[in-house]
Structure 1
């Protein structure tokens, strides 16, 4: 099976061109390909599919095989994939259908290839803060949906947190019966945000595009940052803007091809 490994700020995925049809048993395939010892190694699998509503469709599977609804870093890399491989010549208003709706992309080129992508992430849905008990403490979390569920927790120092303990406890908290992605955020001295992410089904990752958008929306709503700022994650920086004119979130960041290859699916 031919594949392409891509990453956005270190949030890495295996990409399959499925415009001619989907492979069998995608959850099992995603878990096998994502395994960092016995597979390619990734945070998940993304299938590029045909769509009747958009230029392309995108299906996302986490490293544990569960299917996701939306992935900000993943959709940026999809934009790079389809342009660099000649599947489209669009650089603006490129449309991608996801399980959470159609998203619009603008591609930025350097030497004829995509190096960065802006994504219209749509309007966030913010819920009132909730108090959650986990790892022996009570945490204030702001639930935010940006096509997938997030809980944003503001902390004094995110680097001091033990996410290996805290992440699973909040991801699987009874308040979120379908599990949740968790962002641990703090303001920085530049007026931006510093964020660590625990992704539902994948664990701690170097970056999460939807998580950065959720953190910005929660922080801006509380007056902690402006509506247009940088979000710093362990893998790098995203620019996120929450537009006042239409309420949409716009995310801009890099997209990188790591390598291409072929893997045997023999067990």
Structure 2
């Protein structure tokens, strides 16, 4: 983009995972990575974990297209908290009155249902456990993998929920060095597209606590796909049942999975914080820190 202009946006959050949501249906939008980083910057821009675009569908059977960009400007496949915000955004903006929609994402089609009290139920699709589909370098599929990190051998689960996740079970979440281990696992060479890292403390077969270090973002208050990944890994490792309450720093999600090729269902809230306009600089003036 060569000129500075004003961009309409909504600031939204799903249990503390915050987003800048942009209507790319009624206004033309094409942003560079530097401009995306500007929007996500909490000092010079608006500030968010990710930037979301509501766009016209380009695939048959989809109602809308959903694009997700991390705070570092890179596009990713899926975001569970974001898709709940997208459902609320489409309704509040008058773009759809339907209670059920199919959303096109890089990670595949996603079905969303609007429930009462701002609760959104999302069909996140079946988990992908085969290492090449995550992607993760491993000779065979297993429920646990040994991963060498910082001179230690960690036992992780690996799964794709439309985006790659590593899940590490810990005894005490509050004292786990998420800030140190998160970046090391995120960039581990066995994850060729990097990975989101979940740290899971099991409280009961139907209740866990979770912290997530997201690739390209850092630790966030919540991660919907991370909650799904933790519930799946916990179930295949034999420590969780088919319905799990997931307590993240920003709030609670409810995850259901009946195993096998069944979809993972996620239920949680989403809301608009405020709406506004931002003066969007050209690439030469976009602050990159």
Both structures adopt the same fold (TM-score exceeding 0.5): yes
Structure 1 stretches of at least 4 aligned residues deviating more than 4 Å after TM superposition: none
Q: Does 1:230 align with 2:238?
A: no
SS where residue 262 of structure 2 aligns? coil
Match of 2:115 among 108, 117, 121: 108
Q: CA separation in 1, counterparts of 2:182 and 2:18?
A: 19
If asked which structure has higher relative contact order (CA below 8 Å, sep 6+), I would say: 2
User: In structure 1, what is the equivalent of residue 133 of structure 2?
Assistant: none
Match of 2:104 among 53, 72, 97: 97
User: In structure 2, what is the equivalent of residue 31 of structure 1?
Assistant: 37
Match of 1:9 among 5, 9, 15: 15
Q: CA separation in 2, counterparts of 1:18 and 1:218?
A: 35
| Cα drift, residue 236 of structure 1 | 0.6
User: In structure 2, what is the equivalent of residue 56 of structure 1?
Assistant: 64
Question: If the length of structure 2 is used for normalisation, what is the TM-score?
Answer: 0.87
Question: If the length of structure 1 is used for normalisation, what is the TM-score?
Answer: 0.94
CA contact (8 A) 2:114 2:121 kept: yes
Q: CA separation in 2, counterparts of 1:95 and 1:141?
A: 32
CA contact (8 A) 2:79 2:224 kept: yes
Greater Cα shift, 154-163 or 17-26 = 17-26
> Which structure: greater strand fraction?
1
- Structure 1 spans left out of the alignment, 5+ residues: none
SS where residue 167 of structure 1 aligns? helix
SS where residue 44 of structure 2 aligns? coil
Q: 1:188 to 1:22 in 2, by over 3 A?
A: farther
User: In structure 1, what is the equivalent of residue 136 of structure 2?
Assistant: none
| Cα drift, residue 158 of structure 1 | 1.6
Greater Cα shift, 123-132 or 99-108 = 123-132
CA contact (8 A) 2:205 2:244 kept: no
Q: Does 1:143 align with 2:146?
A: no
State the Cα deviation string for residues 182-204 of structure 1 (Å, max 9, x = none): 00101014731111000010000
User: In structure 2, what is the equivalent of residue 118 of structure 1?
Assistant: 121
Q: CA separation in 1, counterparts of 2:48 and 2:14?
A: 12
State the Cα deviation string for residues 89-139 of structure 1 (Å, max 9, x = none): 1012x11100011111110244xxxx1100000000224222122234221
- Structure 2 spans left out of the alignment, 5+ residues: 1-6, 130-140
Q: CA separation in 2, counterparts of 1:246 and 1:91?
A: 25
